[in-house]
Structure 1
Amino acid sequence: MTFISPWFLLGLLGIAIPVYLHLYYRKTPVQKEFPSLRLIKLSVEFVARRKKIRNIILMTLRILTVVLVVMAMARPFLGSSASAAADAQAPSAFVVLLDNSMSMSSVDKGISAFNSARSKALELIDQMTENDRATVGFVNEPGRLGYSQLTWDKEALKKIISDSKISAGGTDLASSLLPALKLLSPLKTHKKAVFLITDMTESSWRPFLERYDIAETDKSIDLIVVPMGAQAVDNTAVTDLRVESPIVMTGKKTVVKAQIANYSKQAKKIRAVFAINGERKSERDLEVEANSEKETDFEVVFAQSGMNRIALSINSDALPADNERHAALRVFDPCKILIVKPENVPGAPENKEDLFVKFALNPLAKSKDNSFITESRSANELNNVDFKRYAALILINQRHLSADVLKRLSEYLMGGGNLITFLGDRTEPEWYNENLTDNLGSSYLLPARLFKRVGNAVSKSVYYRLTDLDLGHPAFNIFEKEENGDPSRARIYEFFQVKPNSSAIVLCRMSHGFPGIVEEKRGAGKSLLVTFSADTKWTNWPVRPTWLPFLHQTLISMITSKEATVKNIKSGMPVSITLMQKDAGKLKIVLPDETEISPSSNNGHKGVLHLTVTNTEQAGYYEIVSDRLGVLTAFAVNPPAAESRLEKINLREIPRFIPLKDEPGKRTVKDKVSVLRNGYDLSGISLIMLVLLAIAENFLANKPAKKRTE
């Protein structure tokens, strides 16, 4: 209990007055013996006993009257909160945390939960007095405080709240609640409180309660939660939209997978609309069972290469923000692969060492409806070839290459091209080391230096196997599943011993520990070295079932590795993108609402540009556009699927938090906050009891004598 005017408690000394008067006017009977008056004596004793009881009651009533008068003037407040137990004259310090996560955009009776929450936050800030300090924060993901310190500026805080917008992100209670507690803890002379205005979804509270022990937080800080939103809201949502194919080509059928969730107690009929670049491509009606999810596939053909925007939308409901999902997808034209085969020897049969590579990449030699279009040339046919027309170059068992070809190969690789080198019986290690590595300086081609040959492909008496496969690399991760085969079953009879460069990675080794396949990033491109042949002279791998998927996955990983497309972006999360400076020019970012902003960028080494996008609050499709080359890349921001679950958590499961419900027809939030901060004002009750006691005392003191002696 606290008192607004504690000095009035000195009035309790007035209790002595009725006690003194009671003792002063107490009559002491004079004893006289009259034997004949025995009956009168008994009557007098009876009356005296009754008067004594009455006088004690009167004295008690008068003492209580004095106490109530003092209490009414001292203005006592009684409450269970930490603020109510503090000094009544102490100023307040509090933090208002406003939930602006996606789930707060749910609409009930035409009013969104976020708009109602924003009004409540303004009401709380309005209660600041001139000595109070406060700040505001937001609990979307990632959460933040409006000011890192408490402030007296009420109007500035109200402006932050009024200007706040709903986010497409999830709820992160800890990211703003923990800094708020840290901000208030050092204050010793203030009434401290954190007001959390949220929709109480279980999906946001459950992880927080499992990770943090709220019961152990600073007990001098009141934790107050203001629940918002309807108790039960039916909701349907698009929770996933993806393409599982590692590469998407124009003219080829592509399967787009979508997942639709029904978070309600009854089955729902949902109409799903799939669109590419804003144009409807497919529509279908789906029935999704209660509290379940359903996956559906859309088979589409992309006609436009480059960045494509795909979207799936469903019919609107109480939470429209999750009724549409976006994805950014890079679509390629069929990739041209240049295979450089060994030159034919005069008088000898045509060299066909490229046969197994060509057949694996394009078995029917199609120019359409195939992922790769292959073209074979010998080394002396490369003089007028523009390497930039090809997604990758494959060198097979080359003896020598001209200085001009090597220079153009180096420029191609460092500029973003891809190079695969197979060795063989024509390979001269000294020439390779000197011309493909040493003479090119920092623009070298090979990821390793070559040494001697190991094994004997003629006798084939001894063979080696591929071991230590890097299953995390795209070239080999397809073989994590046993049904996709095992490259280690292939036999290698002869290979070159190599020493990888310091920045290279070994994708697999031979069974004796020597590197088998080595890869290194070179400038904006990649170079991969296979230490054995591409045909069956040195290995039987080209006739094994794992040969084709290895080549496909290797080329796909190379071609797509330099793409800046990013996936699974959370709202508010900074996005880092690496581009080639030569492609950049003047850049701009087009936001989902078609607003254009300038990105933050830093120039890296070797012509690389590092781009950072921080304004990712909106859900939708973002484009990075160059004034010279148009759309360079794009990405999509989507709300987290967990935000679509609107089930409420039971308030009893949340320790320490005091619920502050807004109940129509009852006390306003402002009144309830006042009670929490100061406690219940007992002065009014004291006055009422004082009046009742005065009436009772007056009645008892002036009770008629006749009734008194009966």
Structure 2
Amino acid sequence: MDFLLASYRKQKKWIRLRQLLLLLSRIAVAALLIAMLCGWTGGGRRFGLLGGTTTHHVVVLDDSYSMGDVSIGAATPLASDEAAKTAYGRALGALQDLTRRLASDDGIHQLTVIRASRAAMINRGGGESADAAADLSVQTITSDGRLINRIMSTQSSPTRTDLVPALDQVTELINATPADAKYLYIASDFRERDWASSERYAASMRNLDGNVTVRMIDCAAPPEPNLAITDISPAQDVWVAGVPVVVRVTVKNYSATPVKNVAIVNRVIRYSSDVVNIDPTRQFSGEVESLPAIMIEQLAAGEEITKSFQVFITQTGSHAIEASLPDDALAIDNVRTCTLPLSDVEKVLVIDGDTEARGAYHIASVLNPGSQVRIGAVPDIQPPSFLRSATLETLAPYRAIYLVDVPEIGENAADALSKYVQRGGGLAWFLGPNTNRESYNQTLLGQSRYLLPGSLGQPIELPVPTDAKPDVGLGESSSTLLAPLESIGESALALIGLSQSWRLDEPQLGDLPDSQRPRMRVVLNRRDGLPFVTLHDYGRGRVITVLSGLDGSWTNWPGDPTFVVFLLQSNALLWSGAAPPTHRMIDDAIVKVLSSRDYTAEAMYVPATDESPRVPIEIAANEQESSLVGEDPVLEFKLDPNDMVIEGEDNVAEILRPGISEWMLTRSDGRGTVVPVASVIRVGDGELERADQAEIAQQFLPMELKFVSSSAWSEQNQTAGSSTMTLLLLGLLAAILAAEQTLAYWATYHVKPTKLTSASKPASLGGQA
């Protein structure tokens, strides 16, 4: 025992050292196994920096509103994530997976990210810089991954976006950025309407210099049924408070299967004169009233149907109307809005050149029939002498003007009528036998006035009929003024007699550009094909020309029931020229023009939102000279989303939201006025049918495209890592395991085997008992 104790005392330090080394080696093996299971590749960046390889990765995110599709399809690795339920959420997930992998890969990785909507808006605003359009422009990826945090908080845009501006800008950026390797990733939903004919996309990408690897990340699932409200608008009519207004709503089935029993829920938001301030705690400052739902019994695949309902509002001012559908694959096109500007009863001017005023009587009896019928127009019958001293100020109070067989139009009257129509007024001519052709051609078409659709020629008699064809037939634009008679056809005009009417010649427009030339539309034709009733636009207003009078000498039309329909429809059309628009496209500029005499130069605009509180945007107006001579300067309030993107403002997404937004205006006397604005999306992105990827690849030849689904992309990037670090860890693990086994053998006691001598060997039993 003394010998053993002495030996232990002599060898214990060496024994403990061997045991400590064995323990450390086993801890190192466990640490390496944990690091490999966790996917640790923290040393990859350092190895890459030593290598000096630079790779440029460019990601184009298609964020058009079809990317808000919530069709489920195959499950994705991020299916439990709320954002990944949409196609755009999967696109963001693909970007995040790519960034995480590149943060640990070898070499220097630079990232550029550009959203298609942002590139398109900058292109529309006149910007050409790719750096300005990009959310990230050639940024080096770091290990913390915070580079894309701001992009990850974005949502799909409510705009319908073309990818060409984005592809043009990334092509320019890729060509201008030096790198050892270049990759282009396009994350999209690859819908049939956009990618079936993708030659424009291919033309942009063929301009890429060098060897660029292209990856197409498919973020959409097989589409589920989708219905969309494609339009809601008040029917063209005299929009007067206290008179029912017909509102039409159009629904389209973008699905491949029919649907049944679909309810359209409608509501009216009334903005009475009592609404003088914006209430930020509510979705609307006006009073909301629900209307009875409209049922669509059946809607076939691809079919579009229009339903109508009536709105009755007794208060003047602008009100709002909203229609909505049940939830489906795409939520943004299930709701659409419009405004309804209602005025009080307004006057219309009627001037008849006939001494007996027979034409004025016909017009007045239709527009103001008396009794319990209320049209909203009050005819003011004046003699032709009224025009001699007419000015814009004297004509402005009238919503429409009817001139019946007035012999001559003086220069002052023509100038006043020209300004009146250009600012949105409506003008109707009834040209009878008393009309002075030379005077009309000189004053109404001279001095760049286009108050007639053409030069008046000589009256032409209608040829003797050779068949049963009526004297008057429907023209190409008859639906504009005779829509209620379209279902009956020309038989409704069979009792109209016409003996002669004025001939129209081509107007002498000089060097006027084609875009500014008034386009004449024929509403009614004569039997011989010559025009009888025409319509053309002039400035913001409209002009209706009837090439016959109303005294009964050339036609008996005033006594036919169709004349009532024509005059009511004409009056509605003439009134609507001065009416404000009932909606705006969300990517158009928001413009409000007011009189500097009536309003102050400060206003607030509250964008549409479904959540409270709403945040107003303060706007200062620019004072400008009026486009009309003699009028006070005007105040222009303007918000242009395209300019806001170029200037880098952060609240562009709020401006682009569809729905009911509100102006808060202040009058000169200090009273407030709240005016609603309906912002709507452009129609088309609700078509969710998928394009064939093989056909897309064929159109891009000789460029090679590789398609990958977002789920497969996520799996590839989550399993990928730094090859250098992985090999290093594997080699280190093998070395430490070998060292551990050596130390384990070294640290344990082993008895050396002894050799057996021949004497000690047992005797063989073979053959011996």
- Maintained 8 Å contact 2:423/2:578: no
CA contact (8 A) 1:485 1:545 kept: no
Contact 1:102 1:639 in 2 (8 A): no
Structure 2 counterparts to residues 508-547 of structure 1, below 5 A = 525-543=541-559, 547=563
Equivalent in the alignment of 1:96 = 59
One of 670, 680, 688 as aligned partner of 1:637: 680
- Give the corresponding residue for 1:420: 428
- Does residue 310 in structure 1 map to residue 321 in structure 2? yes
Asked if residue 195 in structure 1 is aligned to residue 185 in structure 2, the reply is: yes
Query: Do the aligned residues in 2 keep the contact of 1:315 with 1:323 (CA within 8 Å)?
Result: yes
Do the aligned residues in 1 keep the contact of 2:405 with 2:431 (CA within 8 Å)? yes
Separation in 2, partners of 1:322, 1:387: 43
Alignment of 1:224-263 (within 5 A): 224-228=215-219, 231=221, 234=224, 237-243=227-233, 245-247=235-237, 249=239, 250=241, 251-252=243-244, 254-259=246-251, 261=253
CA RMSD of aligned residues (A): 5.7
SS of residue matched to 2:573? helix
Shift, 1:287, TM fit:
8.0
Identity %: 17
Which aligned pairs between 1:159-558 and structure 2 lie closer than 5 A? Answer: 160-162=150-152, 164-170=154-160, 172-185=162-175, 189-198=179-188, 200=189, 202-203=191-192, 206-207=195-196, 209=198, 220-228=211-219, 231=221, 234=224, 237-243=227-233, 245-247=235-237, 249=239, 250=241, 251-252=243-244, 254-259=246-251, 261=253, 272-277=264-269, 279-284=288-293, 292=301, 295=305, 297-303=307-313, 304-316=315-327, 320-331=331-342, 336-342=347-353, 344=355, 350-361=356-367, 364-365=369-370, 368-370=373-375, 372-379=377-384, 387-399=395-407, 412-413=420-421, 416-428=424-436, 446-447=451-452, 454=459, 471=477, 474-475=480-481, 483=489, 491-493=498-500, 495=502, 500=507, 502=509, 506-507=520-521, 525-543=541-559, 547-558=563-574
**Structure 1 residue 657, shift from structure 2 partner:** 2.3
CA shift at 1:232, angstroms?
Answer: 5.8
- Larger Rg computed on CA atoms: 1
Residue 274 of structure 2 corresponds to which residue in structure 1? none
1:152 aligns with 2:139: yes
Distance in 2, matches of 1:466 and 1:291, equals: 38
Amino acid at match of 1:324: V
1:112 aligns with 2:120: no
Please tell me whether the aligned partners of residues 252 and 369 of structure 1 are also in contact (alpha carbons under 8 angstroms): no
Equivalent of 1:137, from 114, 122, 125? 114
Preserved contact between residue 137 and residue 146 of structure 1 (Cα < 8 Å): no
CA distance in structure 2 between the partners assigned to 1:338 and 1:289 by the alignment: 47
Q: Which moved more, 1:398-407 or 1:527-536?
A: 398-407
Q: Deviations over 1:347-367 (max 9, x none)?
A: xxx5423243345545x4456
Indicate how the Cα distance of structure 1 residues 638 and 686 shifts in structure 2: closer, same or farther if over 3 A, else same.
Answer: same
- Rounded Cα–Cα distance in structure 2 between residues aligned with 1:335 and 1:152: 62
Distance change (3 Å), C-alpha of 1:577 and 1:157:
same
**Cα separation, partners in 2 of 1:210 and 1:685, compared to 1, 3 Å:** farther
Q: Which amino acid aligns with 2:156?
A: I
Partners of 1:413 and 1:524 within 8 A in 2: yes
Distance 1:287 1:546 in 2: 32
SS across alignment from 1:224: strand
Task: Sort the Cα spacing of 1:337 and 1:142 in 2 relative to 1 into closer, same or farther, 3 A.
Answer: farther
SS in 2 for 1:356: helix
When residues 460 and 588 of structure 1 are mapped into structure 2, their CA distance, relative to the original with a 3 A threshold, is farther
Contact in 1 for aligned 2:444/2:452 (Cα 8 Å) = no
C-alpha distance in structure 1 between counterparts of 2:477 and 2:452, whole Å:
20
Distance 1:112 1:189, change over 3 A: closer
| Residue 98 of structure 2 is aligned to residue 121 of structure 1 | no
Q: Which residue of 1 aligns with 2:608?
A: 592
Provide the C-alpha distance between the structure 1 equivalents of 2:395 and 2:526, rounded to a whole number of angstroms.
Answer: 32
> Which moves more between the two structures, 548-557 or 213-222?
213-222
Structure 2 partner of 1:3: none
| Per-residue deviation, residues 438-478 of structure 1 (Å, max 9, x unmatched) | 8xx78x79548987854589x9999x978995639945888
Secondary structure of the equivalent of 1:394? Answer: strand
Q: Deviations over 1:477-524 (max 9, x none)?
A: 889888256989862425488884636555559899998667776665
SS of the residue 2:677 aligns to:
strand
1:574 aligned counterpart, secondary structure: coil
Q: Distance in 2 between matches of 1:247 and 1:185?
A: 56
Task: Report Cα offsets for 1:105-143 as digits up to 9, x if no partner.
Answer: 456546122455435424534536884333111134875
Letter aligned with residue 282 of structure 1: L
Instruction: Tell me what 2:658 maps to.
Output: 619
Match of 2:577 in 1: 561
Q: How far apart, in 1, do the equivalents of 2:547 and 2:504 lie?
A: 7
Cα drift, residue 252 of structure 1: 2.1
Query: Given that residues 621 and 634 in structure 1 are in contact (C-alpha distance below 8 angstroms), is that contact kept between their aligned partners in structure 2?
Result: yes
| Post-superposition offset of 1:530 | 4.1
Kindly indicate whether the alpha-carbon contact (under 8 Å) linking 1:262 and 1:268 is maintained by their aligned counterparts in 2: no
- The answer as to whether partners of 2:349 and 2:401 remain within 8 angstroms in 1 is yes
Indicate conservation of the 8 Å contact 1:143/1:175, yes or no: yes
Amino acid at match of 1:166: S
Contact 1:447 1:518 in 2 (8 A): no
Question: Partner letter of residue 82 of structure 2?
Answer: I
Q: Cα distance, 1:635 vs. partner?
A: 3.6
Structure 2 vs 1, CA of residues 146 and 328 (structure 1 numbering), >3 Å: closer, same or farther?
A: farther
Q: CA shift at 1:158, angstroms?
A: 2.6
Q: Alignment partner of 2:196: what SS?
A: helix
Over residues 305-345 of structure 1, what are the superposed CA-to-partner deviations in whole Å (9 max), with x where a residue is unaligned? Answer: 4433221234446754344222334445566433223474x
Report the equivalent of 1:606.
628
Q: Deviations over 1:365-413 (max 9, x none)?
A: 4564436554434457899996544311212233579999889767755
Going from structure 1 to structure 2, the CA distance change for 1:549 and 1:681 (only over 3 Å counts) comes to farther
One-letter amino acid of the counterpart of residue 596, structure 1: I
Q: Distance in 1 between matches of 2:724 and 2:352?
A: 89
Name the aligned partner's letter for residue 637 of structure 1. V
Q: TM-score, normalised by structure 2?
A: 0.59
Q: By how many angstroms is 1:92 displaced?
A: 0.6
2:588 equivalent to 1:574: yes
SS at match of 1:279: strand
Is the 1:263–1:290 contact (alpha carbons within 8 Å) kept by the matching residues of 2? no
Which amino acid in the other structure matches residue 398 of structure 2? Y
Asked whether the 8 Å contact 1:356–1:535 carries over to 2, the reply is: no
Deviation, 1:166, is 2.9
2-side partners of 1:209 and 1:135: how far apart?
Answer: 23
**CA–CA separation in structure 2 for the residues paired with 1:380 and 1:289:** 59
**Structure 1 residue runs without a partner (length 5+):** 1-87, 345-349, 691-710
How many aligned positions are there? Answer: 586
Q: Distance in 2 between matches of 1:223 and 1:561?
A: 51
CA contact (8 A) 1:99 1:140 kept: yes
Compare 382-391 and 370-379 and name the one that shifted more.
382-391
DSSP-derived class of the 2:291 partner: strand
What is the distance in 1 between the residues matched to 2:453 and 2:299?
A: 59
Tell me, what secondary structure is at the counterpart of 2:267?
strand
